[in-house]
Chain A
Amino acid sequence: MTKIEITVNGARHSREVEDRTLLVDLLRDQLGLTGTHVGCDTSQCGCCTVHVNGRALKSCTMLAVQANGAEVVTIEGMAQGGKLHPVQQAFTDCHALQCGFCTPGMIMAVTALLRDNPHPSDEEIYHGLEGNLCRCTGYINIVKAVKQVAQTPR
């Protein structure tokens, strides 16, 4: 067991974890943040995408102990003061989801993509979302949502 300190969505937590605990299991099982999903559990599907120190990564392929001292943001930390994050709002407006299972990871990946590249081309959106699988939408409305955010003046 190792004691770690971790900041999740602005709140500091101190936890004893088994060294082999995955970050996603810490988030879901110990902190109760079940918005981060486990899809494939093999770092393919991207459902478990969260931000660690500002970068998107797959929380099923990182140990909780590796996040010791880190700032983590999950889907629960996106809406502020009852107002959806612009990426969440765009997904709603564009009907960029059907079953919704991939959506938390998609939102986190899209937010990170737009942070690096605020005005991506279609090709750059496809390439930028290669780490996230959606089995419902065919991606058309997801790409539409990304463009809506990119075109909205902020």
Chain B
Amino acid sequence: MFEFKYLQAKTLSEAGAFVAANPDAKLLAGGMTLIPTLKQRLAQPSHLVDIGGLPELQGIEVKDGRLVLGAATRHQEVAASPVVGKALPALAYLAAQIGDPQVRNRGTIGGSVANNDPAADYPAAVLALGATIVTTRREIAADDFFQGMFSTALEEGEIIVRLSFPLPQRAAYMKFPHPASGYAMTGVFVAETKTGIRVAVTGAGPGVFRWSDAESALAKKLHPAALDALAVAADDLNEDIHATREYRANLVKVMAKRAVQKLLEN
């Protein structure tokens, strides 16, 4: 790692102001992406501002038909929380599939969403459920938040405070994990919401995206067979040593069908 200065933030506003005034400073919470990145010398921040322990970013509660999670809530806490397990079991399941136990004990939901890794799990849930990302400055709808590979609507110095999920009627997540890393080669989150069926895909493309053809087909008939006639265009999907884009295109359909099946069993 290159040298940096570590600062433990006392308040959220102090952290936001510091990062806004120091363009080379980075926020640190669980560090499950940032620390490996630093170790590979792929980044050279001047400062790391640790916000992981801030009380303003903690908490799990259901309020007015929504599940609200503090941004520094760790994956393990989401996976094990009786509140999440009752209100939104698909999200607890998703959290339990991230990385491995040691990673889940450190990584945070806010960090995952802010990083927007194209193979991360949480963005699929945030987008499919139409969650609201509450920051230090505003509220951002999931549909406006994710902007492609490692890119989001967040501005310099803007920090995610909490994530607010409207509770769906039913929801399910299925992923095909890379067998070594656990990252989603493809993961599909299907949600039956008040505004209709929403299907979000992670791992397959340069960023999380909604599969609108599947949403229309499932609106007519909420059954895995409704997806049989659909084909996913491979052109814009990811291709790497793990899988071709055609393979991923097929995985999108297979994982979507499995997620719908699981949703119906709930």
List of B residues within 8 angstroms of A130 by Cβ: 100-101, 182
How far does the alpha carbon of A74 sit from the alpha carbon of B107 in the complex, in Å? 21
* A55 close to B103 (CB less than 8 A): no
Is the CB of A37 closer than 8 A to any CB of chain B?
no
> By the criterion CB–CB under 8 Å, are B101 and A112 in contact?
yes
Contact size class for A? 20 to 34
Contacts of B32 in A (CB 8 A): 43, 61
**Complex alpha-carbon distance, A43 and B102, angstroms:** 9
- Write the chain B residue with the least CB distance to A21: B1
Query: Is B110 at the interface (CB under 8 A from chain A)?
Result: no
- Interface residue tally for chain B (C-beta within 8 Å): 28
Other-chain residue from B2, B3, B35 in contact with A62 (beta carbon distance below 8 A): B35
Given contacts A44-B180, A61-B32, A66-B50, contact A56 B6 (CB under 8 A): no
Residues A19 and B5 in contact, CB atoms below 8 Å apart: yes
Residues of B within 8 A of A20 (CB): 1-4, 38
| A103 contacts across to B, CB distance below 8 A | none
Q: Does A65 contact B (CB under 8 A)?
A: yes
Q: A147 at the A/B interface (Cβ < 8 Å)?
A: no
Chain A contacts with B in 91-134, Cβ cutoff 8 A: 109, 112-113, 116, 128, 130-132
Asked if A41 is an interface residue, CB under 8 A from chain B, the answer is: yes
Q: Which of B8-64 contact A (CB under 8 A)?
A: 8, 31-32, 35-36, 38-39, 48, 50, 52
**Closest B residue, CB atoms, query A131:** B100
Interface residues of A (CB under 8 A from B): 2, 18-20, 41-44, 46, 49, 55-58, 61-63, 65-66, 68, 109, 112-113, 116, 128, 130-132
